[in-house]
Amino acid sequence: MKGKAALLTTVDTVRSAHKARATGKKAHLGDQWCYAAVLKAGDKTKCAFSTASAAKYDANLYCETVEGWFFAIKKTVAVTAKDNGGK
């Protein structure tokens, strides 16, 4: 999300926000989500996001296990999109 992203603290708020996420041509203006399962330790995921050239974004990480445990990283990570010359 462009600007400061709110850190969600419960699995219910994460699920609600995921359902309400932005999509389409203006997705870079709202919250974007990567929803991917990790099947075993050491596995990695890849996600694509819509961005604006050199724009600054916040990233938050949430995890829910198959057993129902919920984890939220307590620190938002600042990310700057690659500069593509405004294309």
CA 38 to the chain's CA centroid: 15
Residue 28 near residue 2, CB atoms below 8 Å = yes
Give the model confidence (pLDDT) of 39-80 as tens digits: 888 888 888 887 888 888 888 888 888 888 999 888 888 888
Using the structure block, give the residue that is written with the tokens 């999109």: 81
∠ CA 47-87-56, nearest 5°, is 55
Q: Judge whether residue 28 has pLDDT over 80.
A: no
What is the token pair recorded at 60? Answer: 């938050």
Domains of the chain, residue spans:
11-80
Cα–Cα distance measured from residue 79 to residue 69, given in angstroms and rounded to the nearest whole number? 27
What is the pTM for the complete model shown?
Answer: 0.64
